[in-house]
Amino acid sequence: KELFKGHQVLQIIPKNDAQLAFLKDLEDVLEFELDFWKGVTAVSCPVHVRAPFQFLQLLKRILKRKDISYVPMIDDLQAVLDEEQKEIELFARSLK
């Protein structure tokens, strides 16, 4: 089972066309294994991207270097998934 320990979902809001173009390029870089939950659309429109633990710091450094601000939308994806799984199992047990 694939685990997402340490994965974060970042919200990034491009402030100008240059940042927008950079994020669009980033969308096509498959090597970072970024998963765009909400794709790049327009200036001021939030982009949501899931970054695996191994590329998270690199991504944050790149964004900082480009002066692109971000906030974590989900701090630890696996923690949320564990919670979801727990809820499903509790429900299944209560049925039994």
Applying CB under 8 A, the residues found at the interface with another protein are 1-2, 4, 9, 11, 28, 30, 35-41, 46, 48, 50, 73-74, 77, 80-81, 84, 87-88, 91, 95
- Rounded to 5 degrees, φ, ψ at 51 are -115, 125
Q: Which residues contact 37 (CB under 8 A, 6 or more apart)?
A: 9, 48, 49, 50
Q: Please state the closest distance from residue 6 (CB atom) to another protein, in A.
A: 14
Q: Please state the closest distance from residue 64 (CB atom) to another protein, in A.
A: 21
Q: Please state the closest distance from residue 61 (CB atom) to another protein, in A.
A: 23
The token pair that represents 48 in the structure block: 């949501």
Beta carbon nearer to another protein, 16 or 39: 39
Q: Which residues contact 75 (CB under 8 A, 6 or more apart)?
A: 8
